[in-house]
Structure 1
Amino acid sequence: MKKLVDDLVSTYAKLSLHSANEAETRKKLIDRVLEQVLGWTDDDISYEERVSEDGSTTFADYIIRTADISILIEAKRIGKAFSLVPDKKKVKLSGSFLQGETGSAIKQAREYCRKKSIPFAVVTNGSQWIIFPAVRTDSVSFSDSNAIIFDSIERALGEELTEFTDLLSRSGVIEGNLAVQLIGRNTDQFEERRLNKFFKGGHSKRENPIYPLIENEVITAFSDSIISSDNELLDKCYVKNADRTKFDSRIQMHLQKREPLFSTQPKRPMRKRESGSLVDSINAAYKNHRSLAILILGTVGTGKTTFLQYTRRVASSKYFEKRKDQAYPHWIDIDFRSFSKNESPIGFIYSQLFEYINTDDFFKDYNRSIRSAYKSEIDALKSGPLFLLSKDEKEFEKKITEVIMSDYEKKAPYVDKQLNYGAKKSPIFLVIDNVDQFEDDETQSQIFSDAIAIASRLNINLIIAMRESTYVNHRASPTFDAFDFDPFHIEPPEIPSVLSRRFFLSAQLLSGKKGSFTALNGANFDVDDLSVFIDIVKSSVLGTEIGERIDVLANHDVRLALRMTREFLARGYTDPAKALRKYKSENKYTLPKQEAFRSILLGNQSVYSEQFSVIGNPFDSRLGRSNGELLRLFVLGALVKQSGSNGGGYIDGPDIRDNLKSIGFSESDTLDVLGDLCHFRFAHTKSHGKADFSSSYFASRLGGHIIRNLISDFTFVENVMMDTFIADRGCWERLKNISTQVQEERNIVNRIKLRAERAEIFYEFMLTEYIKILNEAQKRGLDPVWLTNPLEELKSTLDTNLQNAVQSAIRNYG
């Protein structure tokens, strides 16, 4: 670098001596600084780009562009042009600074930037560099902004070289240094340009009027906490088998597998041939010379807790039957959902063990357990410290009671002695569940080490249930490394099978129940058997498009699928009277799928908000910068393309990072987007771990449906549009105006037409913004997997869907 700097300073001196013109200054000095010192490439720099307005055309010397940022550079010849540049590093863009030739150059660059919508500008004569914000979107005026000045090439490439390159180099600009220094933040989205901030939707008071009559039964049947119900209900709702789909023909995408967590294949008790594997391990506990250590692993919502409770209360119920004539096995649940981080993990575990001991028939009985648990201590006291009292039986028993009560009040020693004795008589299973309620790795690690220490010390069996990602985070720790766990992998049951059982159960619970509600037209509507409505819903969901939507959106998360079903039962249908009448006369009726889908997307909100919805917004990356708004969609499109019909479905983290950096996005932006894609279940890491650059990534089934199906769905686009930032002011005003018209329009057909028009405007704008990123990717020769345009591919499908919606409204309402 020193040789280059010396050469550039020498070149400047020669050019200055001969009063070089602008062309010579640019070629011999400015070009070299931009490319060799600051690291900009030919793909980044546009030379002599046309600037036209009102029939007048001029040319900008340099425009530097990436997918995320643009900078205009106005070059002047070496000489007197910037002779009035002040000595200060920062100067207000006002007053005398904007006078003379210096001011003229700044104003010219600012005008070019305004015409080209470029936020930052540089004016330079090769030696002096004036850098300033030309177009601001944060309501700060140009005259209140500051310019940063490097007053000589000797200083810029000498003592201030680090500052110069941090500010203007390709890597520095991509990391946001220029924006932070000039405007104080690396974001350009300041106004509230999200429709959900202005329009609260037309569904705030709309709910299913029949729902209050069926609410209790639906909550019981579709609860994700079915484990709290009686054993008969648990048995009816439990789904054993899981046949995983390997290829989704609708979206032509292979569904990838994550890498195995163990060198040996874990047991898979959700599969029929291995369904009794945990029960077999439990039954063998009598014969084992060492305690069992079992890991129950599965993704979020796969039913790990349900599986454990089914094993205990149904599959192994006889094994754990309490007997009066002999000791019996014990299953002690420690559920960390009720754990507070204000208490210690070991204190929480002991309090739960203490509670179990005090309520269990065996452990709370002095003659069956307590006396034997303290026998060795009683014998030692009798022959030792309390020998002189031992002949006075009442006094001796009083002292022994004091010893036991002292332990009882401390809890831990009382629990230790009881369980230590009980484990010698019959197997005891300590079951640790829901550790993942806390994302804090330190807390999780402490829980694991405490549970393992207790189990080891007392010689009891240990079962720990956790997410696969939690295990990945901790498997290299000494706590896990020193313990020989037997792994069980809980595969999520098929969502349609789960819903079928829950619909059957809710119909059973409602069978013969009567009720009445106020229909949409205001009339009172009587129902002789409320289970009929469940039959209608069941036939409208299972084997239908809405059933597939629930399956896809849940992405194997059973808990989420149950929540979505409860949501649309509560809010998805506004005219159950019509459904019941039609069903009674025709013995068939399918509820409107768009109402159900909308209610799933909205949840308990009146308008879509990513924060409260079960599904994230692929149209807004939440980076606070308009040029990066569609980065989620861009990365997801590549992942889906990679998982296409050839089946080679992973992209490595470093490849994603390098490709996005080449088009102008920072590592932190890339990591934020990857984290969001995993958080919203659009994509997964191959390793089960958190999103980082050491991971490989693949699109989930949900991600595939987003890219190849849902972004052309009218209901989906219309709803997620409400929580998408609209960068273009003209487009924003159009969408706002149409939204106002939608709310004011009473004619249903006209309202549908307006909604369709609004969705089309939004989609066209998103397509325009996506092409900007795609053009940068094409210009830099990225791999074809990155050059897909899902919005363009599905544009005709969306148009057809919008037309169909309007035609359907005309048929139904005239």
Structure 2
Amino acid sequence: MDQIAEVASELLAAHSALVLHDSNEAETRKKLIDKIVERLLGWDDADISYEERVSEDRQTTYADYIIRTADISLLIEAKRVGKAFGVVPTQKRVKLSGKIMEGDTGAAIIQARDYCRKKSIPFAVVTNGSQWIIFPAVRTDAISFSDSYAIVFDSLERILGEELDHFVDLLSRSAVVEGNLAIELIGRNTDQFEERRLNKFFKGSSIKRSNPIYPLIENEVISAFSDSLLEAEDSLLEKCYVKNADRQKFDNRIQMHLQRREPLFSVQPKKPMRKKEASTLVDSINSASASHRPLAILILGTVGTGKTTFLQYTRRVASAQYFVKSSSSPYPHWIDIDFRNFSRNESPLEFIYSHLFSYVNDDPYFMDFNRAIRAAYKRDIDALKAGPMFLVARNPEEFDKKITEVIVSDYNQKRPYVDKLMSYGAKNAPIFLVIDNVDQFEDDRVQSEIFSDAMAIAGRLHLNLIISMRESTYVNHRGSATFDAFDFDPLHIEPPEIPAVLSRRFFLTGQLLSGKTGSFTSVNGANFKVEDLSVFIDIVRASVLGTEVGERIDVLANHDVRLALRMTREFLARGYTDPAKALQSFRSKGAYVLPKQEAFRSILLGNQSVYSEEFSVLGNPFDSRLGKSNGGLLRLFVLSALVRQSSASGGHLDGPEIRDNIRSIGFSEDDTLRVLSDLCDLRFVHTKSHGKADLASGYFASRLGGHVVRALIADLTFVENILMDTFISDKDIWDTLRELTQEIRDEREVVERLTLRVKRAKIFYELMADQYRPLLEEATKRGLGPIWLGNPLEEMRSTFERDTVQALASARRIYGK
């Protein structure tokens, strides 16, 4: 505050001296306005362009100050001190019409406005050092200049006195970067108002073409490529289970180190996906019979790593003998409670008890009165017999009737009945309460209730407790009193190798289809008969495993087995529309590989006919969705830096470092956090801590993020689909892309249509490259580190050009021309 007061004092003294000597415009700028802009408002040389040329219609003039960041620009037109604007209203906010637009004041405003229009600068200031008039010069929201409002500061004394906070909060570098100026002048800090995404105008066919052979193989595909195989036979589960973990540390194709998140525990948890520790859970289960203390085991893994499959494999295959039900003695129990079937309308406690109640009613031991129920109620029966029912007990038949009423009453209430049987059963054999998929609802309160209820039940009834959850869920709750009360043994489920998973599922699908016949209508309308449908699976398997298609599925899955299986099902259902051609070629040549671009397109689109980030497995690196045209490539800018960091040192970047670098080029903290959150949600980036994105976290690029930057942005199929859901800020290019898209829709000839598609993709690629350059220029100008100074679009341009040439050559070879 003392520093501001000192600067204010200097500025007032400089102003007085300038007025006294009737100084010219150059002196006014150097001795007063420069100091206000730089020392009071915090703009530096990297931000300010002095005397920048403004030319149009063969006339050349110069703008006094143009202030730029990567996101925003502001023009300041200076007049000499003492030159009072003829009309300066007493109100702080005034409409840009009427008296303020008259005389010297109006002339200065119009001059600044016209400079802004020629330079596409949205905001302007006119000042003589003492009076400052701030206004929107170029608007994109359909509001006219004359209907806009200016903010007026009428004297330097007032600016440096009672209106200092407002002046600084409006025009300082930090305030402009945070969007204060835009919000006050136009009510928002975004500039994308028109709907300029092609997928809003070209929806595609309402009926997406599917693979005509798919209905014949659908049941077998669903059985073999099911997410969890819960309903599958034990032998099926054993054939599909992959025991080896994906431990790849470096991706040679993109030359990037693959990072791992920081450990969650001070002691390394056991990892059952590794050969040496494969029997960890089985051993713990086997030891439960001799243990006096119930087990508490925490199963942790990322989304889709196969935690549920691991638990099912343990119960139904690895420990199958341990859980064999005996008719002559008590035996161990495994009670699965899967919260995928949980509804928000239910209470977690009621949900758990409902499953326990169903179990005791279905289990041969617990439903047997003589083996379990009589013994579980023995203490109660003896107490009633010696006490309240002493007189009735003289009549055995009447006494049995009363005892039945007591038991039925508990049964109808469910909880007392379950508690009695479970408590008794746990004294005679281990009971495992297995809580799975607790994080199906992203609701901390519900999750916390599930944990506390499950732990309370297990503790009270002396049950062994196994809880399975995502690592991020554990991070959110590990500091709670609920977790502190239980001493868990953690097991970490590492993701299996996706190619190995797909290989087993394809093999299983082939077995299920072996010898099955069927017929379908081919593309040309003919009826095509297939003697053995497993042959088509052989073709698909050869087209996926060990190919670019398989690598794409592996990369896009990003260790998520569930997602990999879903993408493969989508590929089988919609990724190829001419199976007759494939089968005929396979018959004649003994081999056929499905077109990779069709497979990739079907994976990108899912069940949509046109790409939309909302519904796709793959996000859009070309549109940051900030509502700011200058920030459209901010996702790619940050991701590229993280990829370069992983390639250079295998390290990560801390949130504060990312924030400071992004702020230096002109984007706000909110912009940075939103971009980081989106990159994490899209799986391009991970936090080191396993938690949600925040500025306290460290960040590293995922393998998927690396492939986006170093492979996918140069892929024609990727580019031409992603462009459909990217905001096109340039009006002329928008019109061109719309026209080209319509031409593509109307064109029947294959090669000509592909030629138009390539032309459209190249125009889009060039636009993205143009929009990336200002980010790079600002980063270079402000001395950011080397990882921020790459341009992935230029680095991948030759690869993109080569891909388009190959696509056209392939089309001409196949279809002629």
TM interval, short-chain normalised: over 0.9
Name the stretch that deviates more: 23-32 or 130-139. 23-32
Aligned partners of 1:26 and 1:75 also within 8 Å: yes
2:251 is aligned with 1:248: yes
SS at match of 2:583: helix
Aligned partners of 2:198 and 2:724 also within 8 Å: yes
Aligned to 1:406: 409
User: For residue 544 of structure 2, what is the amino acid of its counterpart?
Assistant: V
Tell me, in whole angstroms, the C-alpha distance in 1 between the residues paired with 2:69 and 2:24. Answer: 29
Shift of 1:157: 2.1
Aligned to 1:471: 474
Aligned partners of 2:208 and 2:607 also within 8 Å: no
Matching residue within 105, 108, 115 for 1:112: 115
User: For residue 672 of structure 2, what is the amino acid of its counterpart?
Assistant: T
Aligned partners of 1:203 and 1:607 also within 8 Å: no
Aligned to 1:208: 211
Cα deviations across residues 482-512 of structure 1 (Å, max 9, x unaligned)? 3211111111110111111111111111111
Aligned partners of 1:622 and 1:629 also within 8 Å: yes
Shift of 1:519: 0.9
Aligned partners of 1:202 and 1:743 also within 8 Å: no
User: For residue 726 of structure 1, what is the amino acid of its counterpart?
Assistant: I
SS at match of 1:743: helix
Matches within 5 A, 1:705-784: 705-784=707-786
2:168 is aligned with 1:165: yes
Aligned to 2:620: 617
Name the stretch that deviates more: 543-552 or 382-391. 382-391
Aligned to 2:260: 257
Tell me, in whole angstroms, the C-alpha distance in 2 between the residues paired with 1:641 and 1:509. Answer: 46
Shift of 1:18: 3.2
2:806 is aligned with 1:795: no
SS at match of 2:500: helix
Matching residue within 473, 493, 496 for 1:493: 496
Aligned to 2:536: 533
User: For residue 633 of structure 2, what is the amino acid of its counterpart?
Assistant: L
SS at match of 2:614: helix
Aligned to 1:656: 658
Name the stretch that deviates more: 158-167 or 102-111. 158-167
Shift of 1:204: 4.7
Aligned to 1:506: 509
User: For residue 4 of structure 1, what is the amino acid of its counterpart?
Assistant: V
Name the stretch that deviates more: 487-496 or 147-156. 147-156
Aligned to 1:125: 128
Aligned to 1:673: 675
Tell me, in whole angstroms, the C-alpha distance in 1 between the residues paired with 2:358 and 2:128. Answer: 80
Shift of 1:203: 9.1
Aligned to 2:149: 146
Aligned partners of 2:175 and 2:181 also within 8 Å: yes
Name the stretch that deviates more: 626-635 or 17-26. 17-26
User: For residue 554 of structure 1, what is the amino acid of its counterpart?
Assistant: A
Shift of 1:25: 1.6
Shift of 1:551: 0.5
Tell me, in whole angstroms, the C-alpha distance in 2 between the residues paired with 1:53 and 1:373. Answer: 95
SS at match of 1:430: strand
Shift of 1:480: 1.4
Cα deviations across residues 575-606 of structure 1 (Å, max 9, x unaligned)? 11110000001101111000000000000000
Matching residue within 566, 570, 573 for 2:569: 566
Matching residue within 377, 380, 384 for 2:383: 380
Shift of 1:464: 0.5
TM-score, normalised to structure 1, is: 0.98
Shift of 1:149: 1.4
Tell me, in whole angstroms, the C-alpha distance in 1 between the residues paired with 2:538 and 2:635. Answer: 39
Give RMSD over aligned pairs.
1.3
User: For residue 695 of structure 1, what is the amino acid of its counterpart?
Assistant: S
Tell me, in whole angstroms, the C-alpha distance in 2 between the residues paired with 1:174 and 1:43. Answer: 14
Shift of 1:202: 6.4
User: For residue 16 of structure 2, what is the amino acid of its counterpart?
Assistant: A
Matches within 5 A, 1:233-632: 233-632=236-635
Tell me, in whole angstroms, the C-alpha distance in 2 between the residues paired with 1:383 and 1:150. Answer: 94
SS at match of 1:390: helix
Tell me, in whole angstroms, the C-alpha distance in 1 between the residues paired with 2:205 and 2:398. Answer: 78
Aligned pair count reads 813
Shift of 1:177: 1.0
Aligned partners of 2:246 and 2:495 also within 8 Å: no
Matching residue within 636, 640, 644 for 1:641: 644
Tell me, in whole angstroms, the C-alpha distance in 1 between the residues paired with 2:13 and 2:387. Answer: 97
Name the stretch that deviates more: 433-442 or 387-396. 387-396
Tell me, in whole angstroms, the C-alpha distance in 2 between the residues paired with 1:518 and 1:746. Answer: 22
User: For residue 746 of structure 2, what is the amino acid of its counterpart?
Assistant: E
Aligned partners of 1:204 and 1:605 also within 8 Å: no
Aligned partners of 2:256 and 2:650 also within 8 Å: no
Structure 2 unaligned residues grouped into runs of 5+: none
Tell me, in whole angstroms, the C-alpha distance in 2 between the residues paired with 1:105 and 1:648. Answer: 55
2:692 is aligned with 1:690: yes
SS at match of 1:206: coil
2:11 is aligned with 1:43: no
Tell me, in whole angstroms, the C-alpha distance in 2 between the residues paired with 1:199 and 1:441. Answer: 40
Alpha-carbon spacing, 1:204–1:105, altered in 2? closer, same or farther (3 Å) = farther
Tell me, in whole angstroms, the C-alpha distance in 1 between the residues paired with 2:209 and 2:802. Answer: 28
Shift of 1:267: 1.1
Tell me, in whole angstroms, the C-alpha distance in 1 between the residues paired with 2:30 and 2:83. Answer: 19
Aligned partners of 2:203 and 2:609 also within 8 Å: yes
Tell me, in whole angstroms, the C-alpha distance in 1 between the residues paired with 2:396 and 2:130. Answer: 103
TM-score, normalised to structure 2, is: 0.98
